[in-house]
Amino acid sequence: MQGAKMKVRFALSIFLFSTLLIFNAKAKTVDPYKVLGVERNASQREIQKAFHKLSLQYHPDKNKNKAAQEKFAEINNAYDILSDEEKRKNYDLYGDEKGSPGFDAGHPGNQGVYTYFTSGGPGQSQFTSRPGEWQNMGGQGSSRSFSFSFGGTGGSSSFGFGLDDIFSDFFGSSFGGGRQFGGFSGSTGSQSQSRSSSGNIRAINLQVFKKEIVEKGMTWLLFFYSPSSNRDGYESVIEEVANSMEGALKVGSINCETEASLCKELGVHRPRSPRIFAYSYKAGDKGSLVEYNEHLVAKNLKSFCRDHLPRFSKRINLNRIEFTFDAKARLPSVLLLSTKKETPIIWRVLSGMYHERLNFYDTEVHDVSDPAVKKLGVDALPAIVGWLSNGEKDVLKTGISVKDQKSSIHELSKLLDGFEKENKKAASARASKSHSDSAEEQIPLLTRSNFDTICGEAIPVCIIGAFRSSNARGKLESIVLDVSQKSLSRHQYSASGSRNSITYALLDAAKQSSFLSAFDKSGFKSLGKFLVAYKPKRGKFAVFAGEMTPEEVERFIGSVLNGDVQFSKTRHKPLIK
């Protein structure tokens, strides 16, 4: 009698699930091969061509049919699976791109099509199966499986019957607890297959945008939408990208109905379909919005985000290190030595986080036995070397081990914070010392009385900053003063009058045209500000009239000292009036 009851219950359970499949109006076919209309042995090129053709046909901006929006989401999901080698392999083997179906007692491969239903409303019910699963429930080697999850309490579906009651006696345990019995697996609503849509996407308003995003050095992925626009698939893809780039990227969403002023200010007016932008520093020091216009596929969006991470670190040649310090803030510098052909992602992220606090450089190195590497005191790669704003060098870390992106960024941030504090202490000590002898830190104006001391024949090289206006003088003096304090191969002029030195001076070009005529017949009348590198003993000179920035000026002076600049003979000996 007991056996007969069990058979009846089993038959009833099969009937109920069959009924759900047959009468559910939301049943969908999600076989990616069928969605894209390609064969199972299709090449990546064939898959890509099919995807591009269909996505153009069903893109919400071109096809306003509501069904087209659902179709567009299906197309993107199918391409996401088939364009990824691992996901495609998992789907072919298990019928699931994650490679983790609930249970499979049959043979892998050729699993056919998934169908599913959702009952709607709170505590949504879901069901998944593959063709043939109802025909073979027993028999070794040919058995099929099914998995399901029902929301709500007690495992009850919205059809009004308690599945927990049906299966509790049959399996001798509560069905809703998520335990597995042979080929069956069940879960409560807390374990539902449905995805939370925007748990990690922060809502952005005008205040947050200006306070936390604008010019903060961090790349943001921003999702603009209107409540009426179809967001199917967008948030899940964005979350997937955000999770894979945690620590390097921040994400936010902007509702253009409630934040109309912000959207208007950014030039995104109530989009009919969602739009995705990166707040990027790719084009320069200032951040700007760059729109993502490719297909909604996680790996493509991730590639887009990586491309728009900060690019503040300067790639340099290790054998020609020429560090530049900010003329006003006197920023310290940090150099990464790694085997990478391009600036590593983590270093790019850090360069954004510490923008306008530290100067970032990186270089490609493959051998610690390289003389230039040894000179820096580095014994293992990757390594970070720092220079305080006074030019003092410090090896911050060698043999860096990268665990994962987020933790590595966190650990290196602590290292850079410590270095920044060390620089502030050094700057404070330097400021107190310079207070007493600030007069010595001025670039002197070249006059007849000091000419022999500054640019006499005993001086190997004299750097003269010529100006024609007070504004030009202020800028030149700031830059030349900053460069004069660097630890170059020769020391700057000092009160002691060192003979082995490079000296610096300013010259009023408007009043000293006869002096400049020794170098140029017209006295450089067309130039508002420029530099003259003068070798008094040899009667030779070189002129720099390019962009007057600390970087360019220091590069010019470094080239002068290294013999990389061609000098010309003076027309006659320069004389100061």
CA distance 328 to 325: 9
Give SS3 for 301: helix
Torsions phi, psi of 375, nearest 5? Answer: -60, -30
- The domain made up of 2-191 has a fold known as Helix Hairpins (1.10.287)
Query: What pLDDT score does 365 carry?
Result: 92
Helices (H) and strands (E) in the chain, counts: 17, 21
pLDDT above 50 (res 338): yes
End-to-end CA distance of the chain: 125
pLDDT band for position 515 (cuts 50, 70, 90): very high
Query: What pLDDT score does 431 carry?
Result: 64
Q: Which residue has the higher pLDDT, 396 or 439?
A: 396
425, containing H or E segment: helix 405-434
CA distance 539 to 537: 6
pLDDT above 90 (res 542): yes
Residue 156 contacts residue 121 (beta carbons within 8 Å): no
- The string over 279-295, giving b where at least 16 C-beta atoms fall within 10 Å of a residue's C-beta and e elsewhere, is bbbeeeeebeebebeeb
The CATH number assigned to the domain with range 314-434 reads 3.40.30.10
pLDDT above 70 (res 505): yes
Segment 398-424 shows an average pLDDT of 90
pLDDT above 60 (res 493): no
CA distance 479 to 551: 9
Q: Which residue has the higher pLDDT, 187 or 514?
A: 514
DSSP notation for 480-544: HHHHHTS--SSEEP-TT--SSEEEEEEEETTT-HHHHTTT-TT-STT-SEEEEEEETTTTEEEEE
pLDDT above 80 (res 192): no
Q: How much is the mean pLDDT over the chain?
A: 75
Torsions phi, psi of 13, nearest 5? Answer: -60, -40
Query: What pLDDT score does 163 carry?
Result: 36
411, containing H or E segment: helix 405-434
Torsions phi, psi of 191, nearest 5? Answer: -110, 20
Alpha carbon of residue 411 to chain centroid: 17
CA distance 151 to 187: 8
CA distance 399 to 407: 16
pLDDT band for position 391 (cuts 50, 70, 90): confident
Query: Angle at the Cα of 512 (from 506 to 517), degrees rounded to 5?
Result: 110
pLDDT above 80 (res 188): no
Residue 225 contacts residue 286 (beta carbons within 8 Å): no
Q: Which residue has the higher pLDDT, 114 or 539?
A: 539
**Other residues' Cβ atoms within 10 Å of the Cβ of residue 196:** 9
Sign of CA dihedral 507, 509, 515, 517: positive
Bond prior to 382 in cis (omega within 30° of 0): yes
Query: Angle at the Cα of 369 (from 383 to 332), degrees rounded to 5?
Result: 35
80, containing H or E segment: helix 66-82
- In the chain, list all ranges with CATH 3.40.30.10: 202-307, 314-434, 441-569
Q: Give the CATH superfamily of 441-569.
A: Glutaredoxin (3.40.30.10)
Segment 89-115 shows an average pLDDT of 54
pLDDT band for position 2 (cuts 50, 70, 90): low
pLDDT above 90 (res 18): no
Question: Tokens at residue 453, please?
Answer: 């001391």
pLDDT above 70 (res 196): no
Q: Give the CATH superfamily of 202-307.
A: Glutaredoxin (3.40.30.10)
Of the candidates 323, 492, 490, 329, which has an alpha carbon nearest to the alpha carbon of residue 391?
323
- The string over 300-318, giving b where at least 16 C-beta atoms fall within 10 Å of a residue's C-beta and e elsewhere, is bbbebbeebbbbbbbeeeb
Of the candidates 322, 526, 317, which has an alpha carbon nearest to the alpha carbon of residue 543?
526
- Which residue type occupies 441? E
Give SS3 for 416: helix
pLDDT above 70 (res 223): yes
